Amino acid sequence: MNKQDKIKNFDPNSVGDVNASMFGLPFTLNEAETVLIPVPWEVTVSYGGGTVEGPEQIFEASFQVDLFDPIVKDAWKLGIAMDEINEDIKDKSEIYRPVAEMIIDRQSNGEPISEISEINEINIACNEMNAWVKQRALHFLKQHKTVGLLGGDHSTPLGMMQALSEHVGEFGILQIDAHADLRDAYEGFEFSHASIMFNALKIENVKKLVQVGIRDYCQAELDIINNSNNRVKTFFDRDIKQQQYKGTTWHSICENIVNELPQNVYLSFDIDGLDPKLCPGTGTPVAGGFETDQILYLLEMVVASGKKIIAFDINEVGGEDEWNANVASRLLYRIANLTMLSQEKATRN
């Protein structure tokens, strides 16, 4: 049965078929316009764990998502499918996570980073994960797929960013996050989840980093922001709230955010950018943050501006609380649809 026959025979109003693909859709990877790369990896997490299960939890929660999109016409017909979970990546995460925990514990007890030889072992493993992500992202980008990545912790999309640099050229990053993630080799780990944007800025084609919702950061990260010659523009959570208390609308704030972005935009979405009531199981929750509709409104404005979302990631979903995956799966569906709309693969309702 080809894709058009599947569309003809599929009932988008029915109960999600758990034997089908993501969101209960009937499409294969070849048929789907959007392909999701799952990366079950959490080696360098420094607080709560569980994000290694994020991709699978989001997949399972996706069957509860209704398929009508208020912005994108017949969005489900375009198709969304998730690549197979790489068990080798997951196994390596589970092997190296205890090693990283031991390294962090030794640092906490006063041992200098320079004397902990096992750090290099972790850096090599993380670099191998990044190389695999880059290869997989390029594989789908060359097929003209819309590509999304599902972490895992926030270290996972570096390979995707490197792939986009090769495939697309210049772009900017829109980072939704509670944390600045601008630490240089946090806890000695070159590819730490807390270093993802520090590493992203090493990519020459990343021309701008626009951070939104940041509310947990250190002085060194603030120095990077302030000394970036506007390559990094940060909309701190406190500043956003202060403006709103004084009467500034979210629409106006979003206009300012969108104006800072270049034409090509990569969305990097750490789920802890939301209010932690929506993501209580995320690795490092921080009080403050956004409602889901605020984020979707911002992305709708990005699309309305004519700028293109070239790819996206959603990270730091996991833990024992299923609510995280419930929220993430709904956001994922809308983000994928808006991304396709920005790429002119879809039309408005």
Residue 284's pLDDT band (boundaries 50, 70, 90)?
A: confident
Q: Name the one residue in this structure whose structure tokens are 């509670």.
A: 178
Average pLDDT over the chain reads 95
Contact criterion met (CB below 8 Å) for 268 and 285: no
**Is 324 inside a domain boundary?**
yes
For range 58-69, the mean pLDDT: 95
Structure tokens at 121: 């072992």
Helix (H, G, I), strand (E, B) or coil at 349: coil
Cα separation, 152 vs 80, whole angstroms: 19
pLDDT at 318: 82
**pLDDT tens sequence across 91-140:** 999 999 999 999 999 998 999 988 899 999 999 999 999 999 999 999 99
pLDDT at 47: 66
CATH of the domain at 238: 3.40.800.10
**pLDDT tens sequence across 203-222:** 999 999 999 999 999 999 99
Structure tokens at 233: 């523009």
Residue 175's pLDDT band (boundaries 50, 70, 90)?
A: very high
**Is 129 inside a domain boundary?**
yes
**Is 18 inside a domain boundary?**
yes
**pLDDT tens sequence across 306-333:** 999 999 999 999 877 788 999 999 999 9
Determine the angle formed by the axes of helices 87-108 and 118-141, rounding to 10 degrees: 150
Contact criterion met (CB below 8 Å) for 339 and 34: yes
Helices (H), 154-208: 158-167, 196-200
**Is 128 inside a domain boundary?**
yes
**pLDDT tens sequence across 15-42:** 777 778 899 999 999 999 999 999 999 9
pTM of the model: 0.97
**Is 210 inside a domain boundary?**
yes
Asked if the bond preceding 151 is cis, omega within 30° of 0, the reply is no
**Is 349 inside a domain boundary?**
no
Contact criterion met (CB below 8 Å) for 86 and 40: yes
Radius of gyration of the chain (CA): 19
Strand order in the sheet with 171-176: 80-82, 34-39, 146-151, 308-315, 264-270, 171-176, 206-214, 232-236
Helices (H), 209-249: 219-226, 237-245
Domain range enclosing 152: 3-342
Count how many domains the chain has.
1
Helix (H, G, I), strand (E, B) or coil at 129: helix
Answer yes or no: is pLDDT of 252 > 90. Answer: yes
**Is 348 inside a domain boundary?**
no
Structure tokens at 322: 């299923």
- Collect contacts of 292-298 with beta carbons under 8 A, ≥24 apart: 292/327, 292/330, 292/331, 294/250, 295/176, 295/269, 295/331, 296/331, 296/334, 296/335, 296/338, 297/250, 297/251, 297/254, 298/212, 298/254, 298/257, 298/258
CB 287: neighbour CB atoms within 10 A? 11
**Is 347 inside a domain boundary?**
no
